Structure 1
């Protein structure tokens, strides 16, 4: 199992340091104020000015013709593949990609698609691996329709797909008639860390989206962008799946606030992740993957304590993390400060000494 949530222990102390995920962020007081003051209308009929403003802004940010506001990032992925593919089609993605590991088999259950799992270190496959997975179009094999990447690669350690690699994958895909889709769950983490704009990062990708409920700190939603014809088709699937909303401007206002105030500060999360990794790596027996963004993966096995035992011990100290793919994942975000990072390092050191 790729992800194991921490056990619910009614006797555990209150969570003081929440490193479980950047989805744990709470809307700030200023964000709540922006939500309270939002102009609203019926989003389903295009009558919510705040939703419209958000979609226009995200489309421009990524250099696409149009965009649509969705309740979740998973819904962005699912509706995108439902538009790009037909039943029996094949999607190519990394073996740890969210569309494979974390979306409940939706692409198979709803769309009848199969996903070919490409291997590669750190949650990424190489252009050559992609090329070798392609096959001639014959009546005997499923049509290969979409190649998908996850930016950043979550289970790979929050790694950033390099621009040159993305461009090469696009070129191969276009040469062979495939559509390109970017799962942008932490896309802005990648753009802030790399200094590459969202427009340049998503250039050549037929569809891409931004999640607002992770590091950007909004309570709900993602925005999917692409061509106008693609977004029109996505809207029909949004309707079919029951995702159309009414006065959604209340939530969209939080996303606009995040674009105005929470993008540049993602660099603070990256700095906190580096500080956490640096401190953990100085503890004998703790193996740490060097973070590129806001995710820190580590294993304390060499210190004589299993990962799940470490997670349980930290939870008793008011710190919550997750086991993921056999490692501990800590995720920094706007509700975690530098002092809490140092406190967490101290707890891990204390637990290791006790072991």
Structure 2
């Protein structure tokens, strides 16, 4: 399951079109101004007013009692599992989930947890698959402590878990005594695409977080929400892992700005993704997964060119993408225009025509 950002060689031209990830966004001039004006204090001591305001805002947005500001989404996942599970416990997730495939084995290395992978189309497992994975409490098997979903499902193609499925899995998990956790790295993409409020989408889930450094365009930061007792325990692990910060209001201000200005505009990224997919699908031999949000997965192998070769050829033309799970992933974001989408389609067509 390769993830190859295709670092440029010394002869490669500058990147003009960056479709590698929505993490590639840069803070706008207005966001930088908001950061410069931020009121600050010692976040570790609870004295940063901008961080405190962000935490209250995120807790309300996600329908939870409290929230904590963390440096990254990975730390949200790691502190959530560390606050909930004990060494030897079992976590159930999709086989492509970020906690299993993109966090360096942190949950096993730090917490000693076992993550059981479930199969399912488009990065999602079904209620039946989840129920089949459950087992009776027994000293012969690890205690099943948590079920985790990723909204949207990144490697699944940026797909949106249906609300009915989320509710059913959460209910089944709680009936079996499991804690429910939602990796909401791109939750706001799902919210904008469906019109379902974030608090409703996460209603059945004990813990949930949102990332500000992806489509929302902030330079750093994520917020994890849950019960007050849970967030108190997360704070303990945040301290242990070195995630406590000082005058963090500077970066929290960027996150508040993102919530004010960059949520509704995610629809533009989704429109660009649909345009990219439609254009690529018109090229003979290119297989494209229909996008639901801002991720477009495609393969040019039917046209006689492998994914890595296509990524390399595009890089030589100033376009940056990645291969992931055997396909090419293009990610639209606020620094990608419609003209860039059209140019990328044209370059793919040109590269394949020269094969």
TM-score after normalising by structure 2: 1.00
Cα RMSD of the aligned pairs, angstroms, is 0.5
How much does 1:7 deviate? 3.4
Query: Which whole-Å CA distance do the structure 1 matches of 2:2 and 2:350 have between them?
Result: 27
Q: Tell me the equivalent position of 2:323.
A: 323
> Are residues 1:252 and 2:256 paired?
no
Query: Size of the alignment, in residue pairs?
Result: 355
Name the SS of the counterpart of 1:110 in structure 2: helix
Bigger shift: residues 1-10 or 117-126: 1-10
Find runs of 4+ consecutive structure 1 residues off by over 4 angstroms.
Answer: none
Q: Tell me the equivalent position of 2:158.
A: 158
Q: Tell me the equivalent position of 1:285.
A: 285
Q: Tell me the equivalent position of 2:128.
A: 128
Trace 1:71-82 onto structure 2 (pairs within 5 A). 71-82=71-82
Query: Which whole-Å CA distance do the structure 2 matches of 1:244 and 1:8 have between them?
Result: 34
Name the SS of the counterpart of 1:264 in structure 2: coil
Query: Which whole-Å CA distance do the structure 2 matches of 1:170 and 1:336 have between them?
Result: 36
Q: Deviations over 1:172-204 (max 9, x none)?
A: 011100000000010000000011000100001
How much does 1:3 deviate? 1.2
Query: Which whole-Å CA distance do the structure 2 matches of 1:7 and 1:206 have between them?
Result: 39
Q: Tell me the equivalent position of 1:351.
A: 351
Query: Which whole-Å CA distance do the structure 1 matches of 2:2 and 2:194 have between them?
Result: 27
Name the SS of the counterpart of 1:104 in structure 2: coil
Trace 1:67-146 onto structure 2 (pairs within 5 A). 67-146=67-146
Could you list the runs of 5+ residues in structure 1 that have no partner in the other structure? none
Query: Which whole-Å CA distance do the structure 1 matches of 2:231 and 2:330 have between them?
Result: 35
Q: Tell me the equivalent position of 1:22.
A: 22
TM-score after normalising by structure 1: 1.00
Query: Which whole-Å CA distance do the structure 2 matches of 1:202 and 1:342 have between them?
Result: 36
> Are residues 1:220 and 2:240 paired?
no
> Are residues 1:147 and 2:150 paired?
no
Q: Tell me the equivalent position of 1:6.
A: 6
Q: Tell me the equivalent position of 1:42.
A: 42
Q: Contact 2:8 / 2:315 at 8 angstroms: preserved in 1?
A: no
Query: Which whole-Å CA distance do the structure 2 matches of 1:7 and 1:16 have between them?
Result: 14
Q: Tell me the equivalent position of 1:199.
A: 199
Query: Which whole-Å CA distance do the structure 2 matches of 1:89 and 1:266 have between them?
Result: 37
Query: Which whole-Å CA distance do the structure 2 matches of 1:199 and 1:63 have between them?
Result: 5
Name the SS of the counterpart of 2:244 in structure 1: coil
Query: Which whole-Å CA distance do the structure 2 matches of 1:2 and 1:166 have between them?
Result: 28
Q: Deviations over 1:93-123 (max 9, x none)?
A: 0000000000000000000000000000100
Query: Which whole-Å CA distance do the structure 1 matches of 2:278 and 2:249 have between them?
Result: 41
Q: Deviations over 1:295-343 (max 9, x none)?
A: 0000000111111111011001100000001100000000000010000
Could you list the runs of 5+ residues in structure 2 that have no partner in the other structure? none
Name the SS of the counterpart of 1:180 in structure 2: strand
Name the SS of the counterpart of 1:157 in structure 2: coil
Query: Which whole-Å CA distance do the structure 2 matches of 1:222 and 1:163 have between them?
Result: 23
How much does 1:282 deviate? 0.1
Query: Which whole-Å CA distance do the structure 1 matches of 2:234 and 2:352 have between them?
Result: 50
Query: Which whole-Å CA distance do the structure 1 matches of 2:6 and 2:166 have between them?
Result: 35
Q: Deviations over 1:193-230 (max 9, x none)?
A: 01100010000100000000000000000000000000
Name the SS of the counterpart of 1:231 in structure 2: helix
How much does 1:8 deviate? 2.8
> Are residues 1:208 and 2:208 paired?
yes
How much does 1:10 deviate? 1.4
